[in-house]
Amino acid sequence: MSKIIYTHTDEAPLLATYSFLPIIEAYAAKAGVEFETRDISLAGRILAQFPERLTDEQRIGDALAELGELANDPSANIIKLPNISASTPQLKAAIAELQAAGYDVPNLPESPETDDEKDIAGRYDKVKGSAVNPVLRQGNSDRRAPGAVKAYAKAHPHRMGDWSASSKTRVATMTGNDFFSNEKSWVSPADDTLRIELVESDGSVTVLKPSLPVLAGEVIDGTFMSAKALDQFLAEQLAAAKAEDVLFSAHLKATMMKVSDPIIFGHVVKAFFADVFAQYGSDLAAAGLSANDGLGAIYAGLGALDNGSEIRAAFDLALEQGPAVAMVNSDKGITNLHVPSDVIIDASMPAMIRGGGKMWNAAGDEQDTLAVIPDSSYAVVYDAAVEDCKANGKLDPATMGTVPNVGLMAQKAEEYGSHDKTFEIPADGTVRIVTAAGETVIEHAVERGDIWRACQTKDAPIRDWVKLAVSRARLSGTPAVFWLDESRAHDANLIAKVNEYLADHDTDGLDLRILAPAEATRVSFERIRQGLDTISVTGNVLRDYNTDLFPILEVGTSAKMLSIVPLMAGGGLFETGAGGSAPKHVQQLVDEDYLRWDSLGEFFALAASFEHLAQTTDNQNAQTLAVTLDKATATFLENDRSPGRKLGTIDNRGSHFYLGLYWAQELAASDDAELAAAFGPLAETLANNEQVIVDELLAVQGKPADIGGYYRSDEAKTRAVMRPSATLNAAIDQF
């Protein structure tokens, strides 16, 4: 029996799993393919860290660690759904929910001092932020819009906001003393063990990281963002937003960059409410209320302070007198500054660009925006996109080309592996990276409060990345652009390696270029406006940004992308799209039993997983599943069976029914006589009962649904909510 691992995650993707997985399991079993699940949800990751505090019934294994090992096994076949990359407020909320449900997990220590508190904080550090992706992504990324999705978007173009040449929207970024300008990079000539230390002004040495093993050829970077320069920049942008009468919006990624970006977010909050923190900062700190957690967490904690109402009034006055702030939810008064994980740059900036450069203000109206992206490393991409739209108007999904991506992400490449090497500097001095022989290879003079980080990128993933880029360019006949800036220290080292490793491949007839990100953006936009395709070959952060930016503009969402990670050990990881809108979908399900989540990404990942299984295990039935699923998905799109936008239309559960119907019909008509005979009766049953099943699915809409929890829902309750059609359930379960 061939095996596929299907991940149990969070929010809307998890809810969809309860509806879709029974169909997958039933169909795949007929082809000799078995599915197993592994719980990598935020709640599951928390529980796995504290087995000694739980009862035997509550205890679960560390599924993430298990899958991390499996990712290095040639037999690995993992379908990975979107999961929560927890910000600190989300982590605290999940802990509170688990505690209320009877799980004896500890609180997150605010300022760990004792050994026990440091141990607890260390365990939670393994859970928060993007804890999952760096573990599972043991290969580089091949991400593109499937042909069926692109064809549908051209035939049914989504709405694009109008752009005006007079738009006041622009991108603001630091011009110095940020991560980009302060970066230094070094290539290790041999295997070594480095250490990172802070030499304070008085000569005392604090070891920040005692052991950092590196391999020969590995690229090591060190850089920092000046806290003083950041604060000055933010003050200038707040004044500019007020003077220009545009919305102030900050765009960070406090989930993936779980150490640096929450600190930067805290600086943004303190800059906006500078007078409030000057007057009440000590009161807030004494109550454990941190700007890093956002305005929402501060508001929630003010009730415990004697002068809480006075402080709240000061915040309200500052909001009234300051520049207008972009809103996450204007109806509920949730601002851009409320929660660090509410505004995630790779989703928020493309949405703004798609919407004509506007975000929502407090009155619920669209308004031009000052998009503040402190670090200049990648802000230039969004700046170039905005300027292109000002000059040339909105893009046309009916005619535009596509920008697929080949991303360098294996083995925690670049910034996404920086978490255990990022520090908020406690004192003035010099941070240096030192070899085992005592040689200083990178050093920076820093001041208290600066954010310093090191990154590493191993040589083997770089070689694999270049190979994948050449392969995709050859297979697709498409130009490929390496987004690398020779004026950036890290990129200069990568350019040298790219030029060296390209010589290992047949590149005759291929259009391969190396362009700085701003120019690469301009070229890509120029080509997509002409209906031409261009592969973006990028590092890890730009992989994340580009695989949202271009899909959101091209097809309306990044959730419909085909995302394949050929694992370097030979296995396959198949990702199912983005989950940024998942929280809103869960709220709608709880309020009115309607789930708008679109599982199209799951359909594409599943087909690719079956195809990989067929190739690696010689299971021809799996290949039949893959081919027929792709055909069924095309029919699904042609008939517009994705979830509707309002009650009374089919939701996620109805979309699963139709996919199951079309897939059964394709299997019944396939050349595989055994599978055709098996699926013929099921296809007939589903088709004959189509209206009955749809009516049963629609009947539950419009009233609240109880799933028993947000971060750890009740399994029986959730299954009942997500499988409300007795007729469909009987057909699948009996099959």
Q: pLDDT digit string (tens) for 535-550?
A: 999 999 999 999 999 9
| CA-based end-to-end distance of the chain | 18
Q: Is the pLDDT of residue 580 over 70?
A: no
Band (572; pLDDT cuts 50, 70, 90): very high
Question: What is the mean pLDDT of the segment spanning 519-523?
Answer: 98
Q: Is the pLDDT of residue 584 over 70?
A: yes
Q: How would you classify residue 213: left for phi > 0, otherwise alpha for psi between -120 and 50, otherwise beta?
A: beta
- In angstroms, the Cα distances linking 628 to 143, 479, 498, 631 are 22, 31, 39, 5
Q: What is the mean pLDDT of the chain?
A: 94
- In angstroms, the Cα distances linking 395 to 2, 530, 552, 553, 624 are 44, 10, 11, 7, 38
Assign 295 to helix, strand or coil. Answer: helix
Q: What is the Cα–Cα distance from 19 to 63, expressed in whole angstroms?
A: 22
Q: What is the Cα–Cα distance from 484 to 619, expressed in whole angstroms?
A: 41
Predicted confidence at residue 110, as pLDDT, reads: 82
Predicted confidence at residue 581, as pLDDT, reads: 64
Residue 455 identity: C
| Per-residue pLDDT tens over the stretch 223-254 | 999 999 999 999 999 999 999 999 999 999 98
% of the chain exceeding 70 in pLDDT: 99
Predicted confidence at residue 342, as pLDDT, reads: 85
Do the beta carbons of residue 569 and residue 410 sit within 8 Å?
no
Q: Is the pLDDT of residue 1 over 90?
A: no
% of the chain exceeding 90 in pLDDT: 87
Q: How would you classify residue 619: left for phi > 0, otherwise alpha for psi between -120 and 50, otherwise beta?
A: beta
Band (435; pLDDT cuts 50, 70, 90): very high
Band (60; pLDDT cuts 50, 70, 90): very high
Task: Please name the residue that has the structure tokens 């007079």.
Answer: 166
Q: What is the Cα–Cα distance from 515 to 380, expressed in whole angstroms?
A: 13
Strand positions, DSSP E, 458-509 = 480-483
Band (178; pLDDT cuts 50, 70, 90): very high
Closest listed residue to residue 294, CA positions, set 325, 257, 339: 339
Band (119; pLDDT cuts 50, 70, 90): very high
Band (137; pLDDT cuts 50, 70, 90): confident
* Chain-centre distance for alpha carbon 723: 28
Predicted confidence at residue 129, as pLDDT, reads: 75
Q: Which two tokens stand for residue 389?
A: 């739209």
Predicted confidence at residue 579, as pLDDT, reads: 64
| Per-residue pLDDT tens over the stretch 270-307 | 999 999 999 999 999 999 999 999 999 999 999 999 99
| Per-residue pLDDT tens over the stretch 656-693 | 999 999 999 999 999 999 999 999 999 999 999 999 99
Question: What is the mean pLDDT of the segment spanning 566-575?
Answer: 93
Q: What is the Cα–Cα distance from 570 to 541, expressed in whole angstroms?
A: 24
Question: What is the mean pLDDT of the segment spanning 552-573?
Answer: 89
Q: What is the Cα–Cα distance from 518 to 495, expressed in whole angstroms?
A: 16
